[in-house]
Structure formats: C-alpha cells, structure tokens
Amino acid sequence: MTTIVLLSGSLRRDSVNGALLMTVRAILERRPRDITGTLLTPAGLPLFDEDVEAQGVPKSVAAAQELVSTADAVVISSPSYNGSMPGGLKNTLDWLSRPWGAGALTGKPVAVATASPGRRGGAEVQPELHRVLERAGALVVEHGRVAVGNAVARLGPRGIFTDPAVTAALDGLIDATLTATGHLARGAV
C-alpha cells in the first residue's frame, strides 16, 4: 500500500485548500493501485520551541512526525496569507524537520499545490514553500506549478473540485509524486 500524507496549510473548516486535498484523495481512491491519502493539519501542534523539544517532543508532534515518517510522500496545499505561507504550516514544517538532518521530511518526496479565491491561486507562496522544504531535507517533487485561482467559484457541489483543468493538474501532480516515490513508472497511467 502506498500512503500519501495530505497536509493542508489552512485551519479553516471550509478551506479551498482542504477541498483541493479532498479532491486529491478522491482521485487517489479512483486509481487502480492501493493508495491511501491521510489528512494532516497544523491544528493542535504547539509552537516550535527547542526548549519544549528538549523536555520531550509533545504527543501531537510525535504523532505528526510518525505519520509523515511512515508515509511514502506528502502533498501540501497552502493558501497565501499576505504573500506567504500561513504560520501554522511553517510551524508544522519546522516540527517535521526535527531532529535536524533526520526529521520526518528528510528524503521524503513532497509535492506542493496552492489554492486561493484570488486569480493567482496563491502561486507566490510556492517558491517559499520549496525553499523551506529543501532546507528541511525534503525532495520537492518536480512538476509544473499547480495554483488554483478563483477557487471558490470552481468548487463542485460536493465541496471538491470537478473543473477538468483542476483535476487534470492534480492528476499530473499525483503521477509526479508517485514517480518520485518509485511507485509509478514514468509515463504510466
């Protein structure tokens, strides 16, 4: 079984980034392979603090680290908050980078997408996310930019994206992610 952690940068219940990840999960469920998408959110993780870490990693952090460590890959979907990733997502990535050089993200294929009600789709966040992920030791999945603009208007009736352009972009991102894990040969459907 292939496990992909779906990490939303948004805490909102009706987030378009959460909807994007639910769309990824729906696409994975339609695939003939045994692939599962497991959700992870920044909710409940304390602020990163080396003093807290030195006293023992909090249970919520240890659970997130274990989830990512045992997964084959991670797909992150993030909004843009004032042109940057949300603080909760950055905090999650900081915890997942620990211990330095041997954290849950070290050597892990990670794909990035963004979604926003604005027309740019949060695209300005992606270079920053790539930089932080690379610094944390992740293997950023090589793929064309997936940035879903006008996302609220493009949501389908069940709260997932049904727009053919969006689902095709996500299909491609999933293929690139599976290729990065070695679970999909290049060019396979």
What is the spatial distance between Cα 112 and Cα 18, in angstroms, rounded to a whole number? 13
User: Residue 185 pLDDT more than 70?
Assistant: no
Q: What is the pLDDT of residue 186?
A: 42
pLDDT at site 32: 78
Question: How many CB atoms sit inside 10 A of residue 55's CB?
Answer: 9
Work out the average pLDDT over 121-134: 97
Distance of CA 156 to the CA centre of its chain: 21
Residue 33 clears pLDDT 90, i.e. is over it = no
Kindly state the average pLDDT of the residues 1-18. Answer: 95
Taking residue 132's Cβ as centre, other Cβ atoms within 10 Å add up to 18
Q: Per-residue pLDDT for 135 more than 90?
A: yes
Which sequence spans correspond to the domains of the chain? 2-181
Per-residue model confidence (pLDDT) at position 188? 44
Going from the C-alpha of 57 to that of each of 5, 8, 77, 89, the distances in angstroms are 20, 22, 25, 18
Tell the CATH topology of 2-181. Rossmann fold (3.40.50)
Straight-line distance from the first to the last Cα atom of the chain, in angstroms, rounded to the nearest whole number = 17
Average pLDDT, whole number, for the chain?
94
Model confidence pLDDT, tens digit, residues 64-122: 999 999 999 999 999 999 999 999 999 999 999 999 899 999 999 999 999 999 999 99
Least confident among 15-19, 21-25, 143-147, 181-185: 181-185
Burial class, 108, CB count within 10 angstroms (exposed 0-12 / middle 13-18 / buried 19+): buried
Please give the structure tokens belonging to residue 162. Answer: 């049904």
Confidence of residue 143 (pLDDT cuts 50, 70, 90): very high
For the segment 29-58, the average pLDDT, to the nearest whole number, is 93
What is the pLDDT averaged over residues 124-144? 97
Q: For position 189, what pLDDT does the model report?
A: 39
pLDDT at 187 over 90: no
pLDDT for 17 beyond 50: yes
3-state secondary structure of 59: helix
Q: CA angle, corner 170, sides to 24 and 75, nearest 5? A: 60
Question: What pLDDT is attached to residue 184?
Answer: 61
Task: Output the CA–CA distances (angstroms, integers) from residue 133 to 15, 108, 127, 172, 187, in the order listed.
Answer: 22, 10, 10, 20, 26
Burial of 89 per CB tally in 10 Å (0-12, 13-18, 19+): buried
